[in-house]
């Protein structure tokens, strides 16, 4: 069910771009110590995961798995913030890096995309085997939020879920319209930043002869997210083209298939996302709480207290929601 969010932005941060950019700037000096573990995958590739604390075999503390956004990592401002908030609750945080995002290139030609649930599925199964005495939560930000939706929607309703609850933050649940939205106005600044990083990783694979359908000239000519998905994401992941990828990987129409308690937070002014298309949903099951805020930007949600000191609302809201189930 849709709900109006109670988030109130700091009075000087009502602009969506200030919300989006200030979040990264204000967190620039934050550091969190983590323990890295490499997980070997069934297909011969690997992912790196980062723990706030390595659990014992008989661990009873809740474990919360975090999925980052496009080209994100444990150094992303929202990742550092939520992992610290998880620690403060006395829980254990685990950030799963998507393939190629931990600072080491992955082994295969393909890496990750918005609908790729292989690795969170394998990791979840592994966690369930390792730690049988605790509860689990799942948080997905941006692209990781869409991946979380696709994964949770694929689970059988009567199966024994590893996760008791989930939260999805600023997810591009309708990929085609979101790729158009980020190609307009000031949002092109974010697009250029993301496309530059995506192209750098693609260039590394091209130079190591993992990619053969592109050359450096064609790769350099790519300027938009849609062009990158058309010429790189789609062919490397067996989609016909960008639109085929967007249609099959978008999570919006899969929300009703999620059977566990799930909080979705979305800002109307998100400069990465198309509000009208993401919220074009007739009905939602009672276990889905879809909160829509007028303000917040993209993974910003910076409020202020009576002394005008900024605080990160998501770092309070998400743990408070999860606590009811963990």
User: pLDDT tens digits for 286-298?
Assistant: 999 999 999 999 9
Does the pLDDT of residue 307 top 80, yes or no? no
pLDDT level of residue 145 (50, 70, 90 thresholds): very high
Q: What is the mean pLDDT of residues 22-30?
A: 91
Q: Determine the Cα angle at 202 with ends 111 and 235, to 5°.
A: 65
Whether pLDDT at 208 is above 90:
no
Q: What is the pLDDT of residue 237?
A: 95
Q: Which residues contact 154 (CB under 8 A, 6 or more apart)?
A: 117, 121, 257
Split at pLDDT 50, 70, 90, the class of 152 is: very high
pLDDT cut 70: percent of the chain above it: 98
What pLDDT, on a 0 to 100 scale, did the predictor assign at position 174?
Answer: 98
Rounded mean pLDDT of 132-139? 97
Q: Which of the four pLDDT bands, split at 50, 70 and 90, describes residue 53?
A: very high
Q: Which CATH superfamily is domain 2-174+253-323 in?
A: Alpha/Beta hydrolase fold, catalytic domain (3.40.50.1820)
Residues of the chain within CATH 3.40.50.1820 domain(s) are: 2-174+253-323
Tell me if 198 sits within 8 A of 192, measured CB to CB. no
54 CB-near residues (< 8 Å, 6+ apart): 35, 37
H-type helices in 33-131, by residue range? 77-88, 118-130
pLDDT, mean of residues 78-84: 98
Q: Which residues have a catalytic role annotated?
A: 142, 270, 298
**Rounded Cα distance, 326 and 322, in Å:** 6
Phi, psi dihedral angles at 304 (to 5 degrees):
-150, 150
The CA dihedral of 20, 63, 110, 116, to the nearest 10 degrees, is: -80
Q: Mark 2-38 as b/e (b = at least 16 C-beta within 10 Å).
A: eeebebebbeebebbbbbbbbbeebbeeeebebeeee
Q: Categorize the per-residue pLDDT at 313 as very low, low, confident or very high, splitting at 50, 70 and 90.
A: very high
């Amino acid at each position: 069910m849709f709900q109006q969010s109670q988030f109130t932005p700091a009075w000087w941060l009502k602009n969506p771009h200030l919300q989006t950019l200030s979040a990264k700037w204000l967190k620039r000096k934050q550091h969190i110590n983590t323990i890295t573990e490499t997980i070997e995958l069934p297909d011969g590739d690997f992912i790196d995961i980062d723990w706030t604390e390595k659990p014992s075999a008989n661990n009873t503390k809740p474990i919360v798995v975090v999925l980052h956004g496009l080209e994100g990592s444990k150094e992303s401002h929202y990742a550092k913030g939520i992992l610290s908030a998880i620690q403060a609750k006395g829980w254990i945080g685990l950030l799963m890096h998507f393939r190629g995002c931990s600072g080491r290139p992955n082994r295969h030609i393909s890496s990750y995309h918005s609908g790729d649930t292989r690795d969170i599925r394998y990791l979840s199964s592994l966690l369930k085997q390792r730690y049988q005495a605790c509860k689990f939560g799942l948080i997905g930000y941006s692209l990781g939020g869409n991946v979380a939706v696709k994964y949770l929607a694929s689970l059988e309703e009567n199966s024994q879920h590893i996760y008791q609850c989930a939260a999805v933050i600023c997810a591009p649940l309708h990929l085609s319209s979101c790729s158009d939205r980020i190609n307009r106005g000031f949002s092109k600044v974010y697009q250029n930043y993301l496309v530059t990083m995506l192209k750098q990783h693609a260039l590394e694979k091209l130079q190591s002869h993992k990619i053969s359908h592109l050359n450096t000239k064609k790769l350099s000519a790519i300027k938009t997210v849609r062009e990158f998905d058309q010429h790189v994401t789609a062919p490397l992941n067996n989609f016909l083209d960008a639109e085929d990828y967007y249609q099959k990987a978008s999570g919006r129409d899969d929300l009703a298939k999620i059977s566990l308690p799930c909080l979705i937070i979305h800002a109307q002014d998100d400069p990465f996302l198309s509000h009208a298309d993401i919220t074009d949903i007739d009905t939602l099951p009672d276990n889905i709480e879809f909160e829509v805020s007028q303000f917040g930007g993209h993974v910003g949600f910076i409020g202020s207290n009576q002394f005008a000191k900024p605080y990160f609302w998501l770092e309070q809201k998400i743990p408070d929601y999860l606590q009811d189930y963990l």
